Structure 1
Amino acid sequence: MKHTISTLMASAAVALTMSTAAHAQEWFPFPVEVWETMAMDSARTKMDYEPLEKASKAWDICVSFPHMKDAYWLGVDYGVTEEAKRLGVKANVVEAGGYTELNTQISQIEDCVSAGADAVIIGAISFDGLNNLVGEIRSKDIPVIDVINGMSSEELSAKSLVSFGEMGAKAGEFLAAEHPSGGEAAKVAWFPGPAGAGWVEAGNTGFAGAIEGSAVEVVDTKYGDTGKEAQSKLIEDTLEAYPDLDYIVGTAVTAEAAVPILRSRGLTDQIKVVAYYFTPGVAQGISRGQILAAPTDSTVIQGRIAVDQAVRILEGKDFMMHVGPELQVVTQENYKDFDPTSTLAPDGFRPVFSVE
């Protein structure tokens, strides 16, 4: 059953009858954009998201991530598992080990479904590579929620994700404003992430479009896994090839890795750093003046919404078919006003793989 605004608003009214003290501790209502269809280019409506108060039973939800090697996916894990606890459902979280491990992700999800999962939430390694699997799962009348990364399957039940094209564009717009057409030229090395991942291709397109016509020149584009070691190697290679570089722009892991590398080479004043999504390391870099800016897609909230979508579908309740938090660009100037709880897991949080 697809969402209807009137029913969702009625649900919001019910949720708002909770005590003020209890509501103050919750993550909602949260400002989101709701797409009319699964397509990223469909019309959108802004509204506040209100989840269910509780699930009617302890549904078993399978959650699959590409990896848990960086704090970005740790934030998604925190959002998913905390919302599962709040709603009173079970969650079984698996991670494939990296963006090269598509077959592992597929087999892990198949095992989850065989074990009796009522719904599946997927942070996809590949934009197209899981489509057959999604079709098989949906043929068993099991809902599939696309979280964070994006998939091209037309059989998905719902999406909890933003446009990574717009994330890339936000980073590009920041640079283009610093280096407009006719202004001071800037040589940029661009690190969009692992080739073939849907979010990476979208981010790359958005970034390229945003800097078009500006004085920003991309001298090299380096694709690679979002592990710290892989990104560090790409950065080192790039610095050797382009000693006159002005910016390193790319994934949050790229930005985190760049800070100590530039410091060790004495290049901190010459080469600036921008990320196109957000992690604790990026937050620290911005607060310390080591990273200029990064957009946040409210990672924790995307994980929470995916769980709520799954439960709503399982219980035959109205749901938003495609929803994502409003984007915000965090800079050194506005950092003090940024609320990290929407995006970052708490300090000391360790991966949670099971909620019973």
Structure 2
Amino acid sequence: MLFKRLTQIALLMAAPLAFADSVPATMDGQAGKYRFLEQASHRWRLCAVLPHAFDRFFWAVAYGLDRQATALGVDIGIAEAGGYDRLSEQKRQIRQCVADQADAVLIAAINPTALDDELALLARHGIKVIDLVNGLSGDAVTAHSHQNFF
């Protein structure tokens, strides 16, 4: 029974990506459908910082980021801090994204309340911030990308 349920969940998760040009989403607080882009408007420079690459979840996140960036024709650099105990490393990586002149930074925050200085730095440089998976708030955050795991 558990295998059957897990198979159903996997198929439901994969089906929108494999067979549709849109998926249900909440955008600006409203339910709607997100339509996938076919190509980016120009070659954006993206930077993604992840807490770690120890498990299949963040392997999948990194893989998906890389594949989607390639499909859209944008550049992406992906860094992992080495664990949830490596906040200072994640902060360093975010500062490196600024030095590398990223257009946007996707952050899977180790600690969503401990990045105020880095978010302010990104805002001063006009770099867009995308909250990726773990929850991040503040005026500097441009967008949120979350999945309901329940």
TM range, smaller chain: 0.7 to 0.9
Provide the secondary structure at the position in 2 that maps to 1:159: strand
Q: How does 1:66-215 map to 2 (within 5 A)?
A: 66-162=51-147, 167=149
Give the Å deviation of 1:152.
2.7
Structure 1 length as normaliser, TM-score? 0.36
Tell me the equivalent position of 2:24: 31
Structure 2 length as normaliser, TM-score? 0.81
Q: After TM superposition, which residue ranges in structure 1, 4 or more long, deviate above 4 angstroms?
A: 24-27
Tell me the equivalent position of 1:48: 33
Structure-2 separation of matches of 1:119 and 1:87? 15
Provide the secondary structure at the position in 1 that maps to 2:40: coil
CA RMSD, 1 decimal: 1.9
CA shift in 2, pair 1:61/1:69, >3 Å? same
List alignment gaps of at least 5 residues for structure 1: 1-23, 37-43, 168-294, 296-356
Verify the 8 A CA contact 1:64 1:94 in the aligned structure 2: yes
Residues 262-287 of structure 1: per-residue CA shift (max 9 Å, x gap): xxxxxxxxxxxxxxxxxxxxxxxxxx
Kindly tell me the number of residue pairs found equivalent between the two proteins: 134
The structure where strand makes up a greater share of residues is: 2
Letter in 1 for 2:25: V
List alignment gaps of at least 5 residues for structure 2: 1-16
Structure-1 separation of matches of 2:18 and 2:133? 25
Report 1 or 2 for greater relative contact order, CA contacts < 8 Å, sequence distance ≥ 6: 1
Give the Å deviation of 1:105.
0.2
Verify the 8 A CA contact 1:120 1:144 in the aligned structure 2: yes
Q: What is the aligned-residue identity percentage? A: 34
CA shift in 2, pair 1:32/1:95, >3 Å? same
Tell me the equivalent position of 2:11: none
